[in-house]
Amino acid sequence: MNAAKRREGIISMLKSTSFVKMSDIASHFNVSNETARRDLDYLQHQNIVRRIYGGAVLAERTVSQGPVSRLSRFTSELNSIGMAAADMVKTGDAVFIGPGSTTLQVARHLRDRKDITVVTNSFAVANELYNTDVTTYILGGLLSKDEQDIRGDLANSYVSNFYFDKVFLGCGGITMDYGVMDFSTTHSPIHGHVVKRSGKCILVASSKKFGTPAFVSACSLDDIHTIVTDNQLSEEYCMFLQERNIQLVLVEPSMEYSLDPDE
């Protein structure tokens, strides 16, 4: 596939999911991460996409639908989900926060907290909590240059040193048949280890992730205590999750959320 066709494909992916990881592009089109990066750089130069941590979103002019763009709604969904999830953290809690754009919002809403401890394998989460009163540990292990997280056998074994009151995980997709899924085979072992070391596992995900399979199963829905998502989740999935005694928290997007790229 030539570059022009591949870039058209990337735009199609973004129109259906609002956010796409660089690693997803490389996997989907069977190209190197460097090629995927060049494609995103080219599309950003054309003002078609906007590069953000770990991937890209469509530029606002591309997705504008009236006074509020789809990008604005998507960003506000993540903010509201992160805020609701962060409210579940109590004084004295030790929590794990995994990598991802939604889990990063959880960390952002914990910045002003005191007397809590966060363990993470995400550089973005650790950086968000840097120079705050939150006691923060980052796992040791193999550094992923593309997604800026720590993974591998050493990171998995390091998790066994901790017990978490709450674990906050993101995902690539959730399906009724396969449970919680992700795009990376190296994220999945971390998910499996931390859920076994936690009192309560909380999944944070946009409603767009439900019914959307990813590459590999990360953990069973039986491991999930609570799911925080936006209020666009289908009635079918609401009923499905409630039947499995999973606590469901549906949030309304806060449309005044800033789109400042430095936020």
Q: pLDDT, tens digit, for every residue of 32-65?
A: 888 888 888 888 777 678 787 678 887 654 444 4
Coil vs helix vs strand at 123: helix
CATH 1.10.10.10 occupies which residues in the chain?
3-63
CATH 3.40.50.1360 occupies which residues in the chain?
72-251
Kindly report the CATH class assigned to 72-251.
alpha beta
What average pLDDT score do residues 206-220 get? 85
pLDDT of residue 18: 65
C-alpha neighbours within 13 Å on the C-beta side of residue 250? 11
pLDDT of residue 220: 87
The whole model's pTM is what?
Answer: 0.70
Coil vs helix vs strand at 202: strand
Q: Residue 148 corresponds to which tokens in the numbers above?
A: 């800026």
pLDDT of residue 115: 93
pLDDT tens digits, one per residue of 50-107: 787 678 887 654 444 433 444 455 567 888 999 999 999 999 999 999 988 889 899 9
Alpha-carbon Rg for the chain in angstroms? 18
For residue 262, pLDDT over 70 is answered with: no
Residues 6+ apart with CB under 8 A from 142: 150, 151, 152, 154, 155, 186
pLDDT band at 187 (very low <50, low <70, confident <90, very high): low
Residues 102 and 75 sit within 8 Å (Cβ to Cβ):
no
pLDDT band at 190 (very low <50, low <70, confident <90, very high): confident
Classify domain 3-63 by CATH number.
Answer: 1.10.10.10
110: closest CA among 123, 97, 99?
97
For residue 122, pLDDT over 80 is answered with: yes
B/e letters for 57-78, b = 16+ CB within 10 Å, e = fewer, are bbbeebbeeeeebbbbbbbbbb
- C-alpha span between 208 and 262 (Å, rounded): 25
Backbone angles phi, psi at 96, to 5 degrees: -110, 135
pLDDT band at 254 (very low <50, low <70, confident <90, very high): low
What average pLDDT score do residues 251-258 get? 60
Residues 227 and 207 sit within 8 Å (Cβ to Cβ):
no
> Which of the two residues, 115 and 1, has the higher pLDDT score?
115
Q: Residue 87 corresponds to which tokens in the numbers above?
A: 């409210």
Percentage above 70 pLDDT, the chain: 84
